[in-house]
Structure 1
Amino acid sequence: MRVAEQPKSFAIVGITKHGAELARRLAASMPDADLYLSEKFLQPGEEQTVYSFPTNVRLLLEQMFHRYEGWILLISLGAVVRMIAPVLKDKKVDPAVVVVDDKAQFAISVLSGHLGGANALTERVAAALGAAPVVTTASDVSNTIAVDLLGREFGWRIDDDRQVTPASAAVVNEEPVAVIQETGEPDWWKRKGAIPKQIRVAGSLQEARDSRPEGYHAVLWITDRLLTEAELSIAAYRVVYRPQSIVLGIGCNRGTSMEEIESAVLETLEQQGLSFKSVKCVATISLKKDEAGLLAVCEKYGWPLQAYEPDQLNQVDFPNPSETVYKYTGAYGVSEPAAMLAANTDQLLVEKVKSGNLTLSIARVNFSKAEVPV
């Protein structure tokens, strides 16, 4: 058996004569996929470009299953179910699985339809082969919100996924559901047609309550705020999404430790009732782009570091300019203008806070503007 040492995103597998022909055709339209064929159906010259396995594809799946984002198997559905059963782990880590019949009549989403992207992959495969896509996920069939995927393309993070299943049930069973969006990208509804009438979209908790005083079965809350139990009592099931909406502007003395920066950031966010999961990036002056403590904090939390030149910072109208800061940096401020630039806004959520060896400011990303810098 010959397998890819550096796998691409997807694997296409054919085990029959017709399946191998279809697999080759599909692979020609998917440069991000590796092609695997049964050894007996390899053609002359394919040994260097096509990966192969003996008669039993089960060994290939055992060895490579979790090394791909998705599998397209030109094998009968029943056989695939039996072969993948022993290698399944969890829906959060299992790859997408799509099955195509030997005549390419149907492309079927089998596993990890939402989180793994099998539904989208099914549509792609069906289009390439002229097959009918078969997707059975309730939210897709009903053309409604997929609770576990809402905002995923924007980087929204679910704060706690324990209530995703009952909230999803409320959505697909057409029970009253509120979507409260306080921040984040506004264009999250991607399906054709209008949002189902049983789903109320509101910009605040009060608006949601006014819209339906008797309450909701579930609430999908898009916010960077830390919510109280009293607020969450609007519904029995709650899913909170953390959009990437907070920018931290930081200025610091040379040699400020990672621990001091981290402590100041987390403490300030908590005091302001903001979630660290919504931090989009850290912004500072170019003089600090190689500051070890700052880089260490960004690496730990996966926050990009955006650095601006002094003349860029001086073009911003910010609340607390300082001649002293200008004397040492060439800019009249660091944390405030840097946060405002990175958030593409002319307002601050939190003006400059002095904490030991650093200053910290917080801005919320202005999603009403067409383009927000990274």
Structure 2
Amino acid sequence: MITLQEGQLSDVQQRGDYAIVAITKHGVQVARELERSFQNADLYYMSKFEQGDEQEKGIQLFTGSVRLLLPSLFKSYKGLIIIISLGAVVRMIAPLLQDKKTDPAVVVIDDKAEHVISVLSGHIGGANELTKEVAAILGARPVVTTASDVQQTIAVDLFGKRFGWTWESAEKLTPVSAAVVNEEAVAVVQESGEKSWWQYDRSLPTHIRTYSSIDEALAQAPAPAAALVVTHRNLSNEESQILHNGVLYRPKVIVLGMGCNRGTSSEEIEEVIQTTLDELNFSMKSVKAICTIDLKKDEQGLLAVVKKYGWEFIYYSPEQLNAVPMQQPSQTVFQYTGAYGVSEPAALLYSGAEKLELVKKKSGNVTISVAVVPH
């Protein structure tokens, strides 16, 4: 039982990523119905509506004002699903708001479960998608008011998110989003990354045009009012002009094939990676994976680097590596590993590229090859 008191954070026991909260008789029934079908959620409701199976089901009961419960939930959960009137929820969460990049998703359901409303962090926090999911479970009407969703156009702050793309800076998200929804001329420049980013069953709006290079987009007259640029490259000063009202996205397309001597430090490995990418004029933010031979699957330096950056760590058997044609096979490497190469075939094998951006470079205790995933 959670007893809520002024000036104290409640002692919630978080198990899932989402919290469902109800304070009325009908709201509790809706919450229980939702919790049965909605995975990864914790249910909270007032103790006076106890039904006897709460402990068995892991449902948390509380006494006191729900206003005192929300600060703990807001801080702890990825999303809140609240079955309380919209106005009351707005008043209660207003003092808790910090930033749209960190605030949790907040979704409100009316007491009869007729409407599910996206209230806070619709795009970045995922409230819009959460609203649609919850509405589908309850057979309710989803209410989403974000302009890009209503107009079925590009959501600039979510562009490529499902592929793992990240933006270089959030500074221009708002003005570029305004250009998109206000139907100004917008350029989408894509040099790399997944092509299937348009999600609607209709043609791309006429005010949005796609280009394969920044030079091509900049050559347009008049110049686009805004731009979305998708590339793994670092831009030159001239190319950066397109970002005066633009957002730069980093697709996960760079594959690093790597070999190293046993016991090589993570610092040395990281320095070689950064130096190599700088030489190629590639962004570290576009690295997708480090690939190597299975003999190195427990190499602590490699494991530390992939953990630090959240990259995939892939390793192959000598037989798999030897099946890949190589420009620089090595008899010496074969004597020690059973493979005629490590970095070169590993990068080719994972990326699916026909050629490498960097065939092979030896630096200290590290050997590195670089490929870009073709799309």
Q: State TM-score, norm by structure 1.
A: 0.94
Task: Name 2:7's counterpart in structure 1.
Answer: none
**Residues 192-271 of structure 1 mapped to structure 2, 5 A cutoff:** 192-209=201-218, 212-234=220-242, 236-271=244-279
- Once the two structures are overlaid, the 10-residue window that deviates more, 40-49 or 349-358, is 40-49
Is the Cα–Cα contact under 8 Å of residues 215 and 239 in structure 2 kept in the other structure? no
Q: Which amino acid is the alignment partner of residue 258 of structure 2?
A: I
CA distance in structure 2 between the partners assigned to 1:308 and 1:235 by the alignment: 40
Gap runs ≥5 in structure 1 = 368-374
Question: Quick check: 1:278 aligned with 2:299?
Answer: no
User: Deviation per CA, 1:70-93, whole angstroms, max 9, x where unpaired?
Assistant: 111111111101111122222111
Task: Name 1:33's counterpart in structure 2.
Answer: 41
CA distance in structure 2 between the partners assigned to 1:366 and 1:96 by the alignment: 34
Is the Cα–Cα contact under 8 Å of residues 7 and 68 in structure 1 kept in the other structure? no
CA distance in structure 2 between the partners assigned to 1:44 and 1:304 by the alignment: 46
Task: Name 1:10's counterpart in structure 2.
Answer: 18
User: Deviation per CA, 1:321-357, whole angstroms, max 9, x where unpaired?
Assistant: 1112212221111110011111122311111012122
Task: Name 2:188's counterpart in structure 1.
Answer: 179
Q: Which amino acid is the alignment partner of residue 34 of structure 2?
A: L
CA distance in structure 2 between the partners assigned to 1:294 and 1:317 by the alignment: 25
Secondary structure of the structure 1 residue equivalent to 2:360:
strand
Task: Name 1:103's counterpart in structure 2.
Answer: 112
Secondary structure of the structure 2 residue equivalent to 1:84:
helix
CA distance in structure 1 between the partners assigned to 2:242 and 2:41 by the alignment: 46
Secondary structure of the structure 2 residue equivalent to 1:259:
helix
CA distance in structure 2 between the partners assigned to 1:129 and 1:283 by the alignment: 45
User: Deviation per CA, 1:178-234, whole angstroms, max 9, x where unpaired?
Assistant: 111111111111123121110111222234345x33211111011100012311223
Task: Name 2:76's counterpart in structure 1.
Answer: 67
Residue 145 of structure 1 and its aligned partner are, at CA, apart by 0.4
User: Deviation per CA, 1:21-74, whole angstroms, max 9, x where unpaired?
Assistant: 211222222132221111111213334422111141112112222211111111
Consecutive aligned runs of 4 or more in structure 1 exceeding 4 Å deviation? none
Task: Name 2:161's counterpart in structure 1.
Answer: 152
Give % identity.
55
Task: Name 2:5's counterpart in structure 1.
Answer: none
Question: Quick check: 1:23 aligned with 2:16?
Answer: no
Q: Which amino acid is the alignment partner of residue 359 of structure 2?
A: E
Is the Cα–Cα contact under 8 Å of residues 15 and 40 in structure 2 kept in the other structure? no
Gap runs ≥5 in structure 2 = 3-10
Secondary structure of the structure 1 residue equivalent to 2:158:
coil
Secondary structure of the structure 1 residue equivalent to 2:81:
strand
Is the Cα–Cα contact under 8 Å of residues 221 and 241 in structure 1 kept in the other structure? yes
CA distance in structure 1 between the partners assigned to 2:245 and 2:335 by the alignment: 54
Residue 7 of structure 1 and its aligned partner are, at CA, apart by 2.5
Query: CA 1:215/1:35 → structure 2, altered by over 3 Å: closer, same or farther?
Result: same
Please report the RMSD computed on the Cα atoms of aligned residues, expressed in angstroms.
Answer: 1.5
CA distance in structure 2 between the partners assigned to 1:80 and 1:264 by the alignment: 51
CA distance in structure 2 between the partners assigned to 1:235 and 1:244 by the alignment: 20
Question: Quick check: 1:351 aligned with 2:359?
Answer: yes
Residue 304 of structure 1 and its aligned partner are, at CA, apart by 2.2
Residue 235 of structure 1 and its aligned partner are, at CA, apart by 5.4
- Once the two structures are overlaid, the 10-residue window that deviates more, 108-117 or 353-362, is 353-362
2:88 to 79, 91, 108: 79
User: Deviation per CA, 1:214-261, whole angstroms, max 9, x where unpaired?
Assistant: 211111011100012311223531111111100011111222222221
Q: Which amino acid is the alignment partner of residue 339 of structure 1?
A: A
Question: Quick check: 1:170 aligned with 2:179?
Answer: yes
2:53 to 28, 37, 45: 45
Q: State TM-score, norm by structure 2.
A: 0.93
